[in-house]
Amino acid sequence: MTAIDAVLFDVGNVLIEWDPRHLYRSIFVKEDGSADEERVTRFLTDICTMGWHVQHDLGRSPEEQIATLIPHHPEHADQIRAFYDRFQEMIPGAIEPMVAAKRQMKAAGTRIYGLTNFGVETFDDTRRRFDFLNEFEDVVVSGAERMKKPDPAIFQLCIDRFGITPERTLFIDDSAANIASASALGFETHLFDGPDACLQKCRALSLI
């Protein structure tokens, strides 16, 4: 097996938890104060959809995002604004075992980079909150580049900008589509579904 000398990390749901439901469970509540899961699901399925949010990951500002949606759903204007005004409430915290592993790898001399589908403004806010997101040697943010995973072009951008060799780079991501795209370019990959299996893979590659 080729020795791995660099690791390329996804951010959302690999290093930090992210789920809009965390926010909207506090917005849509029943009379007894519990979350109205049905209304949360309906709102995120029909109004603030992932298809809408992905435009922010491609570079559209929160203000533009909100302006495109409120005219179609004026009765939900406050809830739509909350998506970006209260974005940090979608992130309950870090995935601490992965943060610790990232730091251990870096201390051992492995080059550590980031590749994330994230808007510029929301990533800046998140990076101010979680200092470990400033510890990458470099990071590619989809909103700044106006392209996103799984587009092979954004992986090629990482290869060129970071000077990494795919066959010597482990890419960790929670999306099967992103993993498939990276694998096709020659990256060693791990589909993240929790810290335990990922840390086992990192040990097998002598990274931790």
User: What's the pLDDT band for 175 if we cut at 50, 70, 90?
Assistant: very high
Q: Looking at the domain assignment, is residue 127 inside a domain?
A: yes
Residue 206: helix, strand or coil by DSSP?
Answer: coil
Helix (H, G, I), strand (E, B) or coil at 140: strand
Question: Mean pLDDT throughout 150-176?
Answer: 98
Same domain? For 155 and 97 the reply is yes
* Claim to verify: residue 13 and residue 113 sit in the same structural domain: yes
Same domain, 97 and 200: yes
pLDDT band at 2 (very low <50, low <70, confident <90, very high): confident
| Domain termination site, one of 69, 90, 111 | 90
- Split into its structural domains, the chain has a count of 2
**Are both 97 and 85 inside the same structural domain?**
no
Q: How far is CA 40 from the centre of its chain?
A: 21
Is the domain of 116 the same as that of 180?
Answer: yes
User: What is the pTM assigned to this prediction?
Assistant: 0.96
Does 65 reside within a domain?
yes
Bridge-partner residues for 140, per DSSP?
Answer: 115
Its domain, for residue 64, covers 21-90
State whether 114 and 200 are in the same domain: yes
Domain boundary among 90, 115, 135: 90
Q: Does 1 map to a domain?
A: no
Same domain flag for 72 and 99 = no
* Tens-digit pLDDT profile for residues 51-97: 999 999 999 999 999 999 999 999 999 999 999 999 999 999 999 99
Both 135 and 192 in a single domain? yes
If asked whether residues 72 and 121 sit together in one domain, one would say no
- Which of 64, 90, 116 terminates a domain? The answer is 90
Q: What pLDDT score was predicted for residue 1? A: 61
For residue 140, the domain's CATH number is 3.40.50.1000
> Are 162 and 6 in contact, with CB atoms under 8 Å apart?
yes
Helix (H, G, I), strand (E, B) or coil at 119: coil
Is residue 193 predicted with pLDDT exceeding 80?
yes
If you average pLDDT over residues 41-56, what whole number do you get? 98
Q: What is the mean pLDDT of residues 23-37?
A: 97
Say if residue 25 is in the same domain as residue 13: no
Name the pLDDT band for 17 (thresholds 50, 70, 90). very high
Mean pLDDT, rounded, for 9-32: 98
* Of the candidates 5, 57, 7, the residue with the CA atom closest to the CA atom of residue 171: 7
Q: In terms of domains, do 56 and 119 share one?
A: no
Indicate if the pLDDT at residue 39 is higher than 70. Answer: yes
Residue 167 confidence class, pLDDT cut points 50, 70, 90: very high
Tell me, what's the pLDDT at 23?
Answer: 98
- Write down the mean pLDDT value for the chain: 98
Residue 12: name the closest of 80, 68, 91, 72 by CA: 91
